[in-house]
A and B are shown apart, each in its own frame.
Chain A
């Protein structure tokens, strides 16, 4: 189970966001792998050359922070994720075949991990 204990994960050189700080408090091994995958993908997406991928990552992070701060609830978060998915499907489908897998991973897949793995952990931390 997640706990608000001491950070065990190794710190990377990139700047820690408010979301990173919250996720770094998770010490439970069973969810740590998902947290790590999510943080890595989010960092990749935020540095991508595509503006749409960067924008999606930025919005996702902001909304996770809003959820953590109780400014929106889980229903709102899921509603926004569905909006983002609707908007992104056209973008992913329009990518060249060789880029589609990466585009999907950095957009729809991140949203899926956020909704299914990250949100339950954040809610337990509130």
Chain B
């Protein structure tokens, strides 16, 4: 093999390797992003269900059930934050946790005094959906 042909072969192989690395990393990133989005959707569903369960006008406040659900939520958010592969997404998850904390505190305050209204529940869910949509870049 002449030296030029050998050089071309090396350059071509190096290019193919670089392309393969780029394509593979893009595929992994897309796959991880999909997983990260699914995690955020799961947190959204949990929070909406939490509001549905406790923001019910006229329902007697069950502090033990509320605390159990709140602890489940806290654990779910902490797990999501520590499992997040995209470091840039972690602050977003921390913000979502902040929203969950604020929702839980307001809900406890209102539900324990029997001051939940249908409008409060629907507006809370509206805010949750909005903040999660923004977190997902929608």
Q: A interface vs B, CB < 8 Å?
A: 55, 59, 63, 66, 71-73, 75-76, 79-80, 82-84, 86-87, 90
Q: Which of chain B's residues have a CB closer than 8 A to the CB of A75?
A: 106, 109-110, 115
Interface of B is mostly: helix
Interchain CB contact under 8 A, A87 and B102: no
Interchain CB contact under 8 A, A72 and B130: no
Q: Which of chain A's residues have a CB closer than 8 A to the CB of B130?
A: 55, 87
Interface of A is mostly: helix
B99-130, CB < 8 A from A: 99, 102, 106, 109-110, 115, 117-120, 123, 126-127, 130
B120: contacting residue among A55, A76, A90, CB under 8 A: A76
Q: How large is the interface on B (under 10, 10 to 19, 20 to 34, 35 or more residues)?
A: 10 to 19
B98: contacting residue among A72, A79, A86, CB under 8 A: A86
With A83-B131, A86-B99, A87-B134 in contact, is A66–B109 under 8 Å at CB? no
Interchain CB contact under 8 A, A71 and B131: no
B102: contacting residue among A66, A76, A83, A90, CB under 8 A: A83
B125 to chain A, nearest CB (A): 12
Q: Which of chain A's residues have a CB closer than 8 A to the CB of B106?
A: 75-76, 79
